[in-house]
Every structure is written in structure tokens, then in C-alpha cells.
Amino acid sequence: MRFDFVKCHGSGNDFPLIDARAIELDDAAWAGVARALADRRGPVGGDGLLLLTDGDKLHDFGMRMFNADGSEAETCLNGLRCVARAGFDALGIDRAEVRLKTSSAHAERDADLAPGVVSVRETAGPADLDVTHWPLIEAETGAGHEIVQRPIAMLPSRRSFTAVAMPNPHLVSFVETVDEAELVAVGEACEAAPEWLPNRANVSFVEQRGADLFVRTFERGVGLTDSCGSAMAASVFAACLTGRAEFGVELSVFNRGGLVRAQAESDGMVRLSGNATYDWTGSAEVDADRGIAGDVKVDRHFNDEIAAWAAVVDGIS
């Protein structure tokens, strides 16, 4: 089956995005499409697959996000900005209520983050601190429903973590310097879906840099990624919760892919403003059963957008 898509990214978190409003496929087929198009060894590659889906009485349109391994995430805030841009363009609107897998989000066009950088502001939440919803089961300690700034005995690290669902689950640890080997070890322990964490979780190490944050994430279903929007939202909320930042105050959150502006509120809502950049549009043949993509045709490169975002990254590196 041939699919048209746009290759896009939010803060370096890159995806093929398909307008799926008129496409009828079951979840297993979409999982196969995601494995094919997001495969870094294949002709397209990405951190996952984004779908623009139909709206309903409460939502202007919907979004689905499949990780590179074919699993479906509750949300992806970097991807949401890209889907919102596609939805805005398709419907001729500038703001929308967007249906996610287990929640909703608000998105609206924002002033450009930098010259030529198309930007979207999104509001997601509320953050959920009850880990029994994940579930995360601390049988060894008999601890309560919340994990805020304390070690988790089952992890291969004695660092303190804060657990935040945004709405996908995140474990956040504030560190002096990111140790990627340690981050991978903790991430792989969660990725193994042990009995105490059957649905896995995302793991982030966060450096505080003055008033701002730098976030490095091992993403569930992906691995180490240059950026994860919900991880940045969870990290900002965790920073406020632990007194490292103030609720209601906007700060910059940096990552390997670039940056966003973020603000957490005491009611658990988090606002992110960042890019929704188009790199190119094209199409590809996909064998969903085998998870293989081929015969890619590129229709257009968005050279001005690519250059505008490159200037942002060069300015912070």
C-alpha cells in the first residue's frame, strides 16, 4: 500500500506524518506501517509515526502516535505540534482541541520561536503523580502511590527519581551531568517491561543550567532520542514540584534536538511552545505485514524551514 506523508520534526524529534482521516486500517496494520516508515535502517526513518485523525463533538481533530517498535504511545508533545500544524492547515483554523489516546490537549499557532520557524503552543495535562495508574508496583518497599525525589529499589541506579505521567509515564532524575551509559541502563531496565512496570516507562536525566533545563531521554519504544516533548513537560513539572523551578514561570528547555519554551502550573497543566518544522513531503510503498518500506518518492523539500531551524540549533550549540 502506498502512503503519502510529510517528514517533520518538533525540537529534533522526527516523524513521518500521515493524514489518516480517510484511511481505514486496524491497529496491527498501523503498527506495521510505523515499523516500516520509522525504521532508521530504512529509506525514511523517524522516532515514530504520527497520524492526523478525525475529530468528534469535543475535538477538532485527533492524533495517534506509534513508536518505532509499533507500540502506541498515549501522546507525544513534539509530535502533537506537527499534527496540530497539519490539522490547522487541513481545516483552515489557528487553534484546536485535539483528541489523544487517553486524554486531550489544546494547541494553537504561536509567534515564531525564531525567524522562519513555524511554532505551535500546546497545553497538556494535568500531570498525574499516582504511579498505580501506570502501574508501577514497589512491592519491595510497600511505598505509597507517589514517587517524588527518592530512589526506586528495582532500578540499576541509586539516584532519586520523580514519577510523572504526562499522560505517558516518565521517571525524571536531576543530575549534575548526564551519564548516558547510566541513562541507557535505567532505560533498558524499564524497557524490559518487568513485572513491577509492565507497561514500561520513559526515563530522563535532567541538568539544571541556571534557570533553564537540559533534558536527555531514553524513550519507551524508541531508545535514546534527541528530544521527547512529554519528557520535557514532565521534567519541567518535576522541577517545580521539587523546588528547582517556579510554577507559573516560563523557562527554556534544551535537548540534543534544540529547545522549547515551557511553563508548568500548580494545577498540573504544562504549556510548551516550540517548532513544528516540515522537512519534506513524499510517498512510499509499505508492506505493513513485514514492516518494510520502499520506493520512496520525494515531492518537495522545505529548504527555508530547514535552514531556519538549523540557525536555531547552531545558535545554542
* DSSP SS3 for 85: helix
Give the burial string for 91-102 (b: 16+ CB within 10 Å, else e): eeeeebebbbee
Sorted by sequence, the CB contacts under 8 Å of residue 120 that are 6+ apart come out as 80, 81, 84, 85, 107, 108, 109, 110, 273, 274, 275, 276
213's enclosing H/E stretch is strand 212-219
Task: Return the SS3 of 188.
Answer: helix
Contact assessment for residue 88 and residue 53, using Cβ atoms and an 8 Å cutoff: no
Q: Output the CA torsion 258→259→260→262 (10° steps).
A: 150
User: All 3 cell numbers of residue 30?
Assistant: 498501523
Task: Determine how many CB atoms are found less than 10 A away from the CB of residue 74.
Answer: 16
Block residue for cell numbers 496494520: 29
Is 8 one of the catalytic residues?
A: no
Q: What grid cell was written down for 34?
A: 510505523
Q: Distance between CA atoms of 108 and 126, rounded to whole angstroms? A: 18
Inter-axis angle of helices 229-241 and 77-91, to 10 degrees? 120
Question: If residue 108 lies in a helix (H) or strand (E), which one and from where to where?
Answer: strand 104-110
Residue 114 is classified by DSSP as S
Query: How many other β-carbons are positioned within 10 Å of the β-carbon of residue 69?
Result: 17
Given the residues 8, 190, 228, 240, select the one marked as catalytic. Answer: 228
Q: How far apart are CA 232 and CA 263, in angstroms?
A: 10
Residue 224 bridge partners (DSSP) = 218
Task: Write down the catalytic residue from 76, 82, 190, 240.
Answer: 76
76 carries an active-site annotation = yes
- Tell me the catalytic residues: 76, 228
